[in-house]
Amino acid sequence: MSEIPFRRMILRFPQSVPSAAALRIVAGLANDLRLELLGQFVPDRNLMYLRQHPLAREYRLHERKWSYIEQVDYSDQLHETIRIAERSFTELLHSVEISGRFEVAAGLPAGVEEDIHADDIVVVCEPENPMDQLGLPFLSAVEAALGAPGAVMIVPRRAGRGRGCVAALAAGSSDPVIAAAKEIAAAARERCLTVALREGGDVRSVTAELAQTAPRLVLVSRGALDGHEARVLWELASACQAPVLAIRSA
């Protein structure tokens, strides 16, 4: 059996802590695949600046209007969020048999990607609070992950399967996603299933078929996402209620 093409999972904490269910999904996959697990909190310096700028405004959905951002010392809130994230990650490591560590990354989200390698999986989990999904830190984390050289795994808030097939969404028999899915399925002791992407169709055209397989993990090539990667990945992950791993084509 060949080895899987990854060595490390980098779990991003974009200013909020994911649900306990999402964290368990990530830990279970990392443990089964024997990957090092790195918890990485990425402070958004732009948000810190906005919180302290007297003219900054935000759109409040519940009030349906623009309002000036309340002037607060954001550092205290940031330190508390980091503390909660580190505690959640430490508790997570106690449930697995792999090595791991937690760090606070310096700089803006887009400035930490130089430490990401081709054999890394950058993980972004949907926030526990749906309103946080609309926030700047979360969106920045998704875009930064997609700009990194490694693979990207999106974990929806409602992902709850600890077991299930590894599904490969393939554009053809030579799609590298098939080989990667087989290797991951073997390492995780799951069956591998291939769902063909119809010629000329997009990922959305087979979402319902994928969801019916009740997958533990879905793999797709980045080239099949047709330039709308973030939105398509989230739609696919939410519909399947499972993590979606997007890998770069060779």
**Domains of the chain and any CATH numbers:** 1-157 (3.40.50.620), 161-250 (3.40.50.2300)
**How many Cβ atoms are within 10 Å of 220's Cβ, its own excluded?**
27
Q: Look up residue 124 and give its two tokens.
A: 């972004």
Note whether 4 and 33 are within 8 A (CB). Answer: yes
3-state secondary structure of 187: helix
> What pLDDT does residue 228 have?
67
> What pLDDT does residue 225 have?
72
pLDDT tens for the chain, residues 1 to 250: 457 889 999 998 866 677 788 888 899 999 999 999 999 887 766 555 555 556 555 556 566 767 655 655 556 777 888 898 899 899 888 888 888 999 987 654 555 566 788 899 999 888 776 655 555 556 667 777 888 888 999 998 877 677 899 999 988 888 889 999 999 999 999 999 998 887 666 777 788 888 888 899 999 988 777 666 777 888 888 888 899 999 986 5
CB under 8 Å to 212, separation ≥6 — which residues?
Answer: none
Please state the φ and ψ torsions of residue 175, each to the nearest 5 degrees. Answer: -60, 125
Note whether 155 and 124 are within 8 A (CB). Answer: yes
Which DSSP helix (H) or strand (E) runs through 124? strand 120-125
Q: Which amino acid is at 103?
A: E
Q: What is the C-alpha separation between 229 and 194, in angstroms, rounded? A: 21
> What pLDDT does residue 62 have?
62
> What pLDDT does residue 134 have?
53
